Structure 1
Amino acid sequence: MEQVHSLTNEIIPILRVFDRQKLKEFYLDFLDFNLDWKHQFDENSPMYMQVSQQGCILHLSEHHGDASPGTTLRIRVHQIKEFQQQLLAKNYTYARPGLERSPWGTMEFTVHDPFGNKLIFYEGN
């Protein structure tokens, strides 16, 4: 049977968020993601937005049912030591990530967003 479609390697996770100020402090100010776009049906409805940094794209949603709090993401990073040092230099109150070598040979650090989601940044394998 001939395949008539193709899949790309681009997967965009949706993370549940609850507080726009904390979202800004964590994703935009601390992690240096860019706000690409946002959408609301009206000023009293939940917001849905896209943030990105280089090739990493995340969707952040205030909509109930779009995602479950407590999601874990693994995000590949180039020059992880430099990235970790940049984050530490910001002296962010709620995260001081420590760099570790995993048993499977990657260098990693983990940060938790204010909404219970875990982001593991890694380099290698």
Structure 2
Amino acid sequence: MADATTFQPCVIPVLRSFDAQRAAEFYQGFLGFVQDWTHRFGDDFPLYEQLSLRSAAGLACVLHVSEHHGDACPGSTVRIAWPQLEAFQQSLLAKNYRYAKPGLERMPWGMLEMRIADPFGNQLVFFEELPDAPGSAGG
């Protein structure tokens, strides 16, 4: 199994952004993503960037965020498996981010979920399988 330094995701979602500063405030400042790299074709061109978020357990999430028209559709939803979701949610609430106070919801399909909308209408759904879920190792 790959460790966090060699993690290669099989799918990297592209999410639409309309403002690099607001995207940085949300993804990096609030959620804790790290900017891995950026690309612009020149000064005053749209930004395309890769962001990653690593859990304490070494799990990584990689997203591409693009200001380019046509790269992605605003209002998309991305589901992100995340261990120790309640601790992550509490760390986000402690930041007292003005535009999001995410809650947790137990879903009837055996998942704990936290839904957060970014400033551009995209939905990020962080989820963790509950140990007592039907079909899980513990259920």
Q: Following superposition of structure 1 onto structure 2, how do residues 68-107 of structure 1 map, counting pairs within 5 Å?
A: 68-107=73-112
1:119 maps to which residue? 124
2:38 maps to which residue? 38
Distance in 1 between residues matched to 2:37 and 2:9, nearest whole Å: 22
Q: Following superposition of structure 1 onto structure 2, how do residues 1-80 of structure 1 map, counting pairs within 5 Å?
A: 10-54=10-54, 55-80=60-85
Equivalent residue letter for 1:27: Y
Distance in 2 between residues matched to 1:40 and 1:11, nearest whole Å: 23
Gap regions ≥5 residues in structure 2: 1-7, 55-59, 130-135
1:108 maps to which residue? 113
Equivalent residue letter for 2:117: H
**1:9 Cα deviation from its structure 2 partner:** 5.9
Alignment CA distance shift 1:9-1:42 (3 Å): closer
Coordinate RMSD, CA, aligned: 1.2
Equivalent residue letter for 2:51: V
1:5 maps to which residue? none
**1:44 Cα deviation from its structure 2 partner:** 1.7
Q: If the length of structure 2 is used for normalisation, what is the TM-score?
A: 0.82
Provide the secondary structure at the position in 2 that maps to 1:27.
Answer: helix
Alignment CA distance shift 1:84-1:26 (3 Å): same
1:15-62 Cα distance to aligned partner (Å, 9 max, x none): 000111111110000000000000001012111000001210000000
* Fraction of identical pairs, as percent: 55
Distance in 1 between residues matched to 2:23 and 2:48, nearest whole Å: 12
Distance in 1 between residues matched to 2:42 and 2:30, nearest whole Å: 28
Distance in 2 between residues matched to 1:100 and 1:118, nearest whole Å: 15
Q: If the length of structure 1 is used for normalisation, what is the TM-score?
A: 0.91
Q: Which runs of 4+ in 1 moved over 2 A?
A: none
